[in-house]
Chain A
Amino acid sequence: MLLFKPLAGIIIVLALIMTQGCAFSRGTLGEDIRSESVDAIKKATTTKAEVLSLLGAPDRLLQVNGRDVFQYYRYDAKVGSLLLILINFSRVSIKSDDLFVIIDREGIVEDVILSKRTDGLKFRFWPFGE
């Protein structure tokens, strides 16, 4: 126990000397997909025009399986860096929120698919492991 305390002290002092600084950066692409706007879209009721007025023009317009698919997306990037004197560690983590609105041939919403991956996005600086 007596040996442990000086060793811990040395490690802390060394860590403080070696640490030059930290850096946190963040970048986003696109606007946040508001849940209240998505909740306002009702299957088999809401029209294409109403979707456009609620969410604006889609980021991507697809034609899939005889239907129109409006895709809205938002990207979020978080960068954490640990800057030491001899070595720097950085990690860039990017995740996206995606909303797909599937519209049938009559111009009525058939399905709404939303997932928000960015909610769990954290700042990380350790590049090893998962």
Chain B
Amino acid sequence: MKLPLSRLCPILLSTVLCVTFVGCNVVRFTLNTPITQNDVAFIVPGQTTLADVITKLGTPDSITDSYTGVVATYRFLDMKYSRVNFGWLLKFWSPVDADLLISRTGLGTDALELLCDSNWVVTHHSFLRRLSGHSFNPYPF
């Protein structure tokens, strides 16, 4: 019996997808809720106090001293991990549980840093952008 192309395509596609996703793991790890530029739009350097910021954004993760005042830091972490185990296919035919793994981890750290003067007034603020990227990509090479 000859299968028409319209019926063959979904079967082929499903097979390719199954083989590709065999033994797949997709893991996401997030620390705190990211703060966007819109969230900090209310901060006016030289006017807004740290108390105003805390009222809107919550407490910072750390407060440290500096020569000119105080540095308050809000930290976020976003880690993306994906793994494919091609050896999973052999489970059906081989008594040996063999693994052929490829995996990749993307670690994104982000922070909002506020520099305040000795009166707790925000003088500067900026983001530290080291993002992990948008996609889960297990290809390590």
- Which residues of A does B touch, CB under 8 Å? 62-66, 69, 71, 86-96, 98-100, 111, 113-115, 117, 127-128
Decide: A115 and B54 in contact? CB cutoff 8 A: yes
7 contacts between A and B (CB under 8 A): A87-B25, A89-B26, A95-B32, A96-B32, A115-B54, A115-B58, A117-B32
Complex: chain A residue closest to B77, CB-CB: A94
Scan B30-43; emit 1 where CB is below 8 A from any A CB, else 0. Answer: 11110000000000
Docked complex Cα distance between A99 and B70 (Å) = 17
Q: Sort chain B's interface into a size bin.
A: 20 to 34
Decide: A87 and B21 in contact? CB cutoff 8 A: yes
Residues of A within 8 A of B69 (CB): 65
Scan B70-112; emit 1 where CB is below 8 A from any A CB, else 0. Answer: 1000000100100000000000000000000000000000000
- Could you say which of B23, B28, B32, B54 contacts A91, with CB atoms under 8 Å apart? B28
Known A64-B64, A127-B136; contact A113-B30, beta-carbon cutoff 8 A: no
Residues of A within 8 A of B30 (CB): 91-94
Decide: B58 and A92 in contact? CB cutoff 8 A: no
Decide: A90 and B27 in contact? CB cutoff 8 A: yes
Smallest beta-carbon distance B115→chain A, Å = 12
Decide: B65 and A64 in contact? CB cutoff 8 A: yes
Residues of A within 8 A of B70 (CB): 64-65
- Which residues of B does A touch, CB under 8 Å? 18, 21-33, 51, 54, 58-65, 69-70, 77, 80, 118, 120, 136
Docked complex Cα distance between A90 and B118 (Å) = 44
Residues of B within 8 A of A100 (CB): 59, 63
Q: What's the dominant secondary structure at chain A's contact region? A: strand
A sample of 4 more A-B contacts (CB under 8 A), given A64-B65, A86-B24, A92-B28, is A63-B65, A65-B69, A98-B60, A127-B27
Docked complex Cα distance between A39 and B23 (Å) = 51
Docked complex Cα distance between A86 and B59 (Å) = 42
Top 10 A-B residue pairs of the complex, sorted by shortest distance between their CB atoms: A115-B58, A127-B28, A87-B24, A115-B59, A98-B59, A92-B29, A90-B27, A94-B31, A64-B65, A88-B25
Decide: A87 and B54 in contact? CB cutoff 8 A: no
Complex: chain B residue closest to A117, CB-CB: B58
Docked complex Cα distance between A113 and B23 (Å) = 47
Docked complex Cα distance between A88 and B136 (Å) = 13
Residue among B22, B54, B60, B63 with max Cβ neighbours from chain A (10 Å): B63
Residues of B within 8 A of A94 (CB): 29-32, 77
Smallest beta-carbon distance A19→chain B, Å = 15
